[in-house]
Amino acid sequence: MSVKKLLLGVMLAALAATALLSAGQVPAVGSMAPEFRLPSQDGTQIGLSDFRGKWVVLYFYPKDGTSGCTIEAHNFQRDQAKYAAVNAVVVGVSVDSTDSHKEFCAQQGLTFKLLADTEKKVSAQYGSLMNLVGYKIAKRHTFLVDPAGKIVKVWTDVSPNKHSEEVLAALKTVK
């Protein structure tokens, strides 16, 4: 990781601590997850409804290539077989471009879908958009969506280091 990316990650983390939420409310547990359609790193359009019949770990993250986002993505990648074993898929969303996602996936060996919310509408719809001194990025939030499309768990205080384990533990309790 370059010093520039590391510094950017540290700066984003520091700014995030003081950022003001500029999006709507986080959807409530028990509500239907808002539907969307966004391009993935391979250019295909992906919608939440494409995963009906599966558990969906829908996670929002600030920026490709930054330290916390890389750790979180690596942990989700490490646990892909565990998610598959419980009929779950991991889908990441940030406001980065598809080209940024493609590069991030290639550099980090990521095989799950990363979606480009460049218009920031889906992040706002999920109450996961914050303003960092005029620049809007996604907040680190995760939504566990059941096979019928209902939100069963929400994390708004996410630690990238242990989050995948938290999500897997929750999947064991809600099944």
Cα–Cα dist 103/118, whole Å: 16
Q: 69 catalytic, yes or no?
A: yes
Sheet architecture: strand order including 129-132? 20-21, 129-132, 135-138
Contact (Cβ atoms closer than 8 angstroms) between residue 91 and residue 111? no
Cα–Cα dist 70/76, whole Å: 10
Return the exposure string of 141-155: e unless at least 16 CB atoms fall within 10 Å of the residue's CB, then b: bbbbbeeebebbbbb
Contact (Cβ atoms closer than 8 angstroms) between residue 63 and residue 69? yes
The residue from 69, 145, 152, 171 that is catalytic is 69
- Residues catalogued as catalytic: 69
